[in-house]
Structure 1
Amino acid sequence: MRFTVFGGVSAWVDGRAVEFGPTRLAAVLGVLLVEAGHTVSADDLVERVLGDAPPTRARAMVQTWLTRLRQTLPGLLERDGAGYVIRVDPVEVDLHLFRHLVRTGRTAEALALAQEELLSTLDTPWARQARADFAGELLAARMDHTDALLRSGEHAALVPDLRALVAQRPLDERIAGQLIEALHGSGRAAEALQHFEVVREGLATELGAEPSRQLTALHRRLQAASAPRQLPAPPKPFTGRALELAELDQAPNGVVVITGTGGVGKTSLAVHWAHRAAERFPDGQLYVNLHGFGPSGAAVSPGDALLRFLSALDVPRAKVPHDLAGQSELLRDTLADKRVLMVLDNATDADQVEPLLPRGTHTHVVITSRTALRPARKAFSLPLGLLPPDDARELFASRVGHERAQAEPDALDTVVRRCARLPLALAVAGARAATQPEFPLAALADELADLDAFADDDDVTADLRSVFSHSCRALSPAALRLFRMLGLMPGSDISLAGAASLAGLPLEATSSLLTELARANLLDESVPGRFTCHDLLRDYAAELAHDDERDEALHRLFDHLALTGVEAGLVYTPTRHRPAAPEPLAGVVIPPITTHEEASAWLMAEHPTLMAAMPHGTPTHTWLMGWSLADILDRQALHRDLLTSQQLAVAALEQLDDRDGLARTLINLGRGFGRMGRLDEATAALHRALDAHEGNPAGQAQVLLNIAMLCPDDKIPEAIEYTKRGLALFESCGDEYGQINALTGLAWGYGKIGEYALAIEYAERVMPMWRAMDHVLGQAETWDNLGTGYFGLGDYERAAEAFTEACNGFRLGGDRQLEAAAYDELGDTHAAAGDAELASAAWLRSIELHVEAGLPADHIRLKLKPERQ
């Protein structure tokens, strides 16, 4: 026998459903089942079934229903004193089975039972109260189940439901803690920590309370777990440097500069010590290779290094200023109270590191450089000389095997001497010997002596070249050819596909050659799929490159970068027009890119290489690389690189007969100037684009819409006129997508100037077009414009519906900034309608999103406490 009270009341006997006939009969059974095993008085039964104002013959009616129940379910219903009781095993009733499953930790099974409302067909005060009471049980069970899923590692899948639950109960600390854990476990540490701040502020504002001890402990635990850990892997083996390590241990927090010649082991010492001292810096370790002595164009600018550090510290892009001074100040503010270790590797001069240096002494900085830097802050100097002989012998022996080294002590001494006791030279020579275990060390020592002559014991460059030359002689001809070509690459590293294109070889063959070079210690796979080498090795490789192969190799590499960039750019923004591109040379690899995530990953990984390559490519290469970078640099708020790349692209297009490409790139250039706040230059670039698009109405219309976007709030009427002109041009040439954008712009503009009926008219006109395209963000913007119109006309119910749809659409489209604004508008709408509770929930969500996006939220906080205004 089985009974249900979730949804309608029903019973199954021997697998067959039992029919109860009239609804009140089921209601009587439902009341008794909820109280299974307990007596319900006749008066209570009347009130629970018929309400608190029952008809005069209520008792007689209930008696009739009870009699029918006895006939339908014989032997279950009993009279007990002045009341009635149903004798069933509680676990046969879905409500009581739910409670049993929750008590025994089987929450998934319990929740599967409670898919419908308790006693959904009974609408009396008692039934409504029973449903309200059970809602608390159901919520607790859901939270128990969420805890179980969090323990099993299912974080990402929980975030959407927890977001929705938080919107309903913004000050529930248990739900807040679960969302924080889910976000953190999904790799969204910044959002997790920011949500804690939102909850803390909401508790203080609404209740005058601090977060609970449990939530505070969770915050501290996740804060420690979220600290950046950017150090590269520790060098293995690492030998010697005991005195220098002791000096680093004893140096006070501040700035330490390790100086020494190339290949002497500055990076190995800094990274080895940093790993050893990491526990002293619980708020994280930051690392950047500044490539100060790499090939031209490879050095990392202070601005790029700042952006990397700010990103690692979870500072939202929207909060980062455009100028170097502002970025530097933001980094210093972010590090002010943090105990962080910063390693600035391979710096060229003080100007490169000065903007990166923190203000106080909580953050400790270790700099490596070949020159004696003199930063503005007082620094502890640590000159690094050659390895002591014993340490040099131990380093080489650890690479070739101690037994082998001990068997030929004289040869070992000779190799160490001819490697000038330089760790880099010893590593390369050791890798060569390790791949030939049958090769006598004496023969290795002789080979080193027979190669490039040394000027004297202090000429470490000659010594290194000799060791490199020896190792290169041991390479296969194909590996040596690839090594020579790698010296030509722009940027600091290269992908497998890039290396294959550079060499004009298939991927599989290139992968084997890269493995051979890595075994010889001439190359390092810095991150999976990307390869780099010490700048001295790269300089040597470039020296070996043959003149007759340079131009063709670089042309193949630039073909790979430009043409793969075009494919990535089209996938990243599918609505863009494909630019005209040349056929690639034979041997160029263009990997398939099919998803937005793949496109974004490729563009961001190759961004530094593309920026380094742009000044050196053909005009066609240069402008296509700039085209591929334009959208992602804009969306990632890398506005300085956006501007630089588009300036280079425009200069390249001025050498080509491509008016359409020039006009489109001038639009991107205008966008770059606009993002940097240089509005006059932005307007000038866009008017050049307008001229370049002469005879192309769709192109000119696109320029007009971009000019409209530059108009400040006090010139919205001018923006509307530009947009109308654009719309007319789009209509004249039948460009539907352009018309949709223009109509959306008009709906927004009329809403801004208070022409609410027109705003609604244009929004309603464009909505079916966005839906036909299945364009999520376009629909969200239109819902937002509709909300503005309805709000302005005082139709708060429809405005709330529209803003809710806008919030959902912006969330699905991934635009957090617009979602934050929509929640603010939704809160205003609820407040205007007199619903303070819903207004508060929407504003709290808006504050959270503003904080996540790095946007100011004080104007919304004031709405939560009107008395402060």
Structure 2
Amino acid sequence: MITVRYTIFGTTEFGPTRVGALLGVLLAGAGQVVTAEELVERVLGDDPPPRARAMMQTWLTRLRQTLPGLIERDGNGYVVRVDPLEIDLHLFRHLVRTGKTADALALVQDELLSTLDTPWARQLRADFADELLAARLDHVDERLARGEHAKLVPELHTLAAGRPLDERIAAQLIEALHGSGRAAEALRHFEVVRARLAGALGAEPSRHLATLHRRLQAASAPRQLPAAPKPFTGRALELAELDQAPNGVVVITGTGGVGKTSLAVHWAHQAMDRFPDGQLYVNLHGFGPSGAAVSPGDALLRFLSALDVPRAQVPHDLAGQSALLRDALADKRVLMLLDNATDAEQVEPLLPRSPNAHVVITSRTSLRPAHAKALPLGLLPPEDARELLAARIGHDRARAEPDAVDTVVRRCARLPLALAVAGARAATQPQFPLAALADELADLDAFADDDDVTADLRSVFSHSCKALSPAALRLFRLLGLMPGSDISLAGAASLAALDVRETEALLAELATANLIDQPEPGRFTCHDLLRDYAAELALAGERDEALHRLLDHLALTGVEAGVAYTPNRHRPATPPPAPGVVVLRFGTHEEALAWLMAEHPTLMAAMPHGTPAQTWLMGWSLADALARQACYQDLLTSQQLAVAAVEQLDDPDGLGRTLINLGRGLSRMRRPDEATAALHRAFDVYEGNPAGQAGVLLNIAMLCPDDRIGEAMEHTRRGLALFEECGDSYGQANALTGLAWGHGKIGEYAEAVEYAERAMRMWREMDHLIGQAEAWDNLGTGYLGLGDHAKAAEAFTRSSEMFRLGGDLPLEAGAYEQLGDTHAAAGAAEPAREAWRKAVELRTQAGLPTDKVRAKLQAEGQ
């Protein structure tokens, strides 16, 4: 093993002395003759003192006495006679050449010849910095190859910030982000780098970076198709028609259970190569028993999210969202599968109308969007039906009882859904003669009706249910009551008042019987015909209590999620859960948001069915998440339902808070007059509650446009007085922040600083990060207006750092933009451009317009 004897990363063994510097110079050139003149220049610089040669000779003599045999005279110069691999610098280079970058990097603990400050030494350090960076990036490549993507992201972010135009670092960061599951962020970073290169150099990305971008685009294309159905048999004619259909719209129609979805999904998997830019899928639940069909707006948001369109770019109206989807798909070869559609009105806003996009719709109705091709689907031909059953129960078993196979096929009406359920039962009981199963179905022939295939399905379902354990059968009955299209494990446990583990085992039994599906871990659903049948079986005495337990679970878990998501919200009073209800709790903000968004459709579907208390608690739970996730239509709908519910309760505080949330929803939907009316009503409801009225006043102030800043400040002053009256520190800090902002907007900068300093003291006492960030931001505005550029720059720098820690990209971008404005006002052009470029980068990441900041860059000669 090589042992380093001589170290020049930092100082030599002689320390920060001229003798040590001389030794470092000789070691750096080990094996090479260095003349006396070169030694003087390298150790003493371009302007050496008198008698420099004599001084150098004295130091050389000392070195040769202390380290005998190391330094020799060679002609008119000196040379170090030692194995270069005993010197850390040369060992570093050897390790890099031999691919041992981790060992090489471990040697570099300090700056090269750190105590020597001559032009030669500075150039040596600059050259070595390039070597070190190259080695570091080589090591990054090795770690990426080992799959350490997530660990590398912070390091690469730091490297990229220091070298914003380095395309190798950009490529590594993009690859690390993508490998960490952050595909959208990876693609956005490419756009940021492309914009930087164009702005700074007038250049396009290198071929390597562009190739990586194309590869990641393909890898990041949405792949939303459900798993391909197994087994799948028959439908050769229909598959051929789908293959031959040109890009456009195909509508597969047929009765429930006939296999429309299986056909569409099976073909889509076969045709994936034709659509390299991705496959989009949504189950529109047009015929679910709860009537909770997916709205076009909800489907559009799912698609836009899958296409990595930043939420900030998504309009709030249906027409705007539809147009944005068409723009996003304009040049893409994409397959869109709209499953279980109700009517043309549900699908029209989703159609891309692009020559490269292809849409397949399944529906029980003969809906006909413009220029759509109809593909009606009938019952399976007898031979295909026999093959489907045989594939499920085993071909040997089917060949052994061909008559029984024919009987089961006939009594299942050749419907794939019925055959799947019957086959699942037979497959789980291999010792059970198939003829016996056929005989069980025989007494139900009277229910068969050529015009009503659901009667035959009902008979098949009934016999499959007979094979269930009593507990599984009870759970199946209750699942028919769920208000949404799917249910979580905890929700199912609450519905049945069972232990979670026991519920999980029963759900597995139902899945084995092909009565439910698990489309993703922890969530369960079933075909709408099965849900209809399950609901028919539910006993009158168990319906109300079971549904109440499920709604209790949603409402009370929703409160826990709402508090975890926004910790400073005042927790509403909640009733105790009904016996058997599972109430989840959340350790982090992220866990709470994940639950709220996963349950968002279920909560929306459940709200109309709850008690007044349950409904308003569900609305309270959703309010902040829907507002921050820009789901403004659902925010409005949920708060309208919540207001109607809480009006039935003796809870003025709950009504006031819900009216405030309703005002937020109306404001986001651009209905300011109604929003103002809701907030004024909230103010009246809070009569006798100064803190409540103060909160309303701050929300009314937020509705005021820029030309009514004075009115907004008056509302805020009244709110501050009320918060002071009741001793509400958090409310006071919010009001002071609003006043600081308002004074800054109208040019009263000294007052802006005064209010911001008061707010800062309170935010610091509460250790409130975003509050402090906003206070620094307002201080920056005040100092800039007063002409104190140094203080303004410091304030905006602090503000941007805190907004970054708080995870608020738009506000961080705003702070950087104002930091650039401050530098520009101080005449510091390059720092201004640097700050503005950072603002452009952040606004790009957040999906916000960048035109205004780019105009500032162009005006400064970017």
Residue in 2 aligned with 1:302? 296
| Inter-partner Cα distance in structure 2 for 1:63 and 1:753 | 72
Q: Report the residue type matching 1:344 in the other structure.
A: L
Paired with 2:777 and 2:99, the residues of 1 have a C-alpha distance of 44
Within a 5 Å distance, the mapping from 1:470-481 to structure 2 comes to 470-481=463-474
**C-alpha separation in 1, matches of 2:805 and 2:103:** 30
Decide which moves more: 399-408 or 826-835: 826-835
Would you say 1:203 and 2:197 are equivalent positions?
yes
Identity value in percent: 79
Do 2:565 and 2:589's aligned partners in 1 also have CA atoms closer than 8 Å?
A: yes
Task: Encode CA deviations 1:347-376: one digit per residue, 9 max, x unaligned.
Answer: 01000000001122211000000010111x
Q: 1:378 aligns with which of 371, 374, 393?
A: 371
State the distance in 2 between where 1:837 and 1:100 align.
39
Counterpart in the other structure of 1:357: 351
Q: Do the aligned residues in 1 keep the contact of 2:829 with 2:860 (CA within 8 Å)?
A: no
Per the alignment, in what secondary structure is the counterpart of residue 3 of structure 1?
coil
What number of residue pairs does the alignment pair up?
A: 859
Deviation at 1:452, TM superposition (A): 6.6
Residue 339 (structure 1) aligns with: 333
Deviates more, 1:658-667 or 1:184-193: 184-193
Aligned partner of 2:489 in structure 1 is: 496
Cα distance, 1:768 vs structure 2? 4.4
| Structure 1 residues 98 and 734, CA gap change in structure 2 (3 angstroms) | farther
User: Structure 1 713/105 Cα, relative in aligned 2: closer, same or farther at 3 Å?
Assistant: farther
Compared CA separation, residues 762 and 2, structure 1 to 2 (3 A): farther
Alignment of 1:608-623 (within 5 A): 608-623=601-616
Secondary structure in 1 aligned to 2:534?
helix
Whether 1:664 and 2:657 are equivalent positions in the alignment is yes
Contact preservation (8 Å) 1:237, 1:399: yes
- Matched to 1:859, the amino acid is K
CA distance in 2, matches of 1:564, 1:613: 14
Q: Is the 8 A contact 1:190 1:852 kept in 2?
A: no
- Contact 2:737-2:755 within 8 A present in 1 as well: yes
1:3 maps to 2:6: yes
Stretch deviating more after TM superposition (565-574 or 753-762):
753-762
Secondary structure of the 1:701 match is helix
Alignment match of 2:172 (pick from 175, 178, 183): 178
Q: Quick one: which of 413, 435, 448 aligns to 1:442?
A: 435
Distance 2:790 2:114 in 1: 27
Q: Which runs of 5+ in 2 are unaligned?
A: none
TM superposition score normalised by structure 2: 0.97
Can you list the C-alpha shifts for 1:542-567, whole angstroms capped at 9, x where unaligned?
11111111111111111100001111
Moved more, 212-221 or 801-810: 801-810
Q: Secondary structure at the match of 1:625?
A: helix
Equivalent AA in structure 2 for residue 118 of structure 1: L
| Structure 2 contact 33–74 (Cα < 8 Å) conserved | yes
Do 1:198 and 1:844's aligned partners in 2 also have CA atoms closer than 8 Å? no
> Partner residue of 1:231?
225
* Preserved CA contact (<8 Å) 1:452 1:462: no
Please state how far the C-alpha of 1:215 moved relative to its aligned partner.
Answer: 0.8
Q: Residues 619 and 653 of structure 1 are in contact (CA less than 8 Å); yes or no, is this contact kept in structure 2?
A: yes
- Alignment of 1:728 with 2:729, yes or no, is no
Tell me the equivalent position of 1:845: 838
1:529-554 CA-to-partner distances (Å, cap 9, x unmatched) read 11100000100111111111111111
- Relative to structure 1, the CA distance from residue 82 to residue 768 in structure 2 (aligned partners, 3 Å threshold; closer, same or farther) is farther
Report the CA distance shift for 1:374/1:800 in structure 2 as closer, same or farther (over 3 A). Answer: same
Are 1:451 and 1:469, in contact at CA under 8 Å, matched by a contact in 2? Answer: no
Which of 600, 603, 622 is the equivalent residue of 1:607? 600
* Structure 1 position 23 matched with structure 2 position 17: yes
In structure 1, the residue matched to 2:635 is: 642
Aligned amino acid, residue 12 of structure 2: S
The residue number in structure 2 matching 1:395 is: 388
Alignment of 1:803-818 (within 5 A): 803-818=796-811
Segments of 4+ in structure 1 off by > 6 A? Answer: none
Measure the CA separation in 1 of the matches of 2:799 and 2:88. 39
* 1:157-168 matched pairs, under 5 angstroms: 157-168=151-162
The amino acid across from 1:754 in the alignment is G
| Partner AA of 2:690 in structure 1 | P
Q: CA deviation at 1:189?
A: 1.6
Give the residue type in structure 2 aligned to 1:72: T
Q: Which amino acid aligns with 2:813?
A: A
Backbone CA RMSD of aligned residues: 1.8
- Offset from partner CA, 1:361-416 (integer Å, 9 cap, x none): 211000000010111x2011100000000000010111111111111111110110
Write the distance in 1 (CA, Å) between the matches of 2:823 and 2:107: 35
Moved more, 767-776 or 330-339: 767-776
Q: Which residue of 1 aligns with 2:421?
A: 428
Distance 1:98 1:343 in 2: 57
Deviation at 1:593, TM superposition (A): 1.9
Contact 2:333 2:357 in 1 (8 A): yes
What is the 5 A alignment of 1:457-856? Answer: 457-856=450-849
Query: Displacement of 1:576 after TM fit?
Result: 0.9
Aligned counterparts of 1:164 and 1:780: Cα–Cα separation in 2: 22
Amino acid of the residue matched to residue 155 of structure 2? D
Partners of 1:791 and 1:545 lie apart in 2 by: 69
State how far apart, in whole Å, the 2-side matches of 1:641 and 1:427 are.
37
- The TM-score with structure 1 as length reference comes to 0.96
User: CA 1:23–1:723 in structure 2 vs 1: closer, same or farther (change >3 Å)?
Assistant: farther
Q: C-alpha separation between the residues in 2 aligned to 1:426 and 1:369?
A: 20
- CA–CA separation in structure 2 for the residues paired with 1:415 and 1:364: 37
* 1:105-116 equivalences in 2 (<5 Å): 105-116=99-110
CA shift for structure 1 position 304: 0.4
Distance 1:718 1:174, change over 3 A: same
- Partner residue of 2:97 out of 97, 100, 103: 103
- Give deviations 1:41-62, integer Å, cap 9, x for gaps: 2222222222222221222222
- 1:151 correspondence with 2:145: yes
Q: Contact 2:694–2:719 (CA<8 Å) still a contact in 1?
A: yes
| Residue 16 (structure 1) aligns with | none
Aligned to 2:48: 54
Aligned to 2:36: 42
3-state SS of paired residue (2:580): coil
Aligned-partner Cα distance in 2 for 1:798–1:87: 57
Q: Mean alpha-carbon deviation: is it higher for 343-352 or for 353-362?
A: 353-362
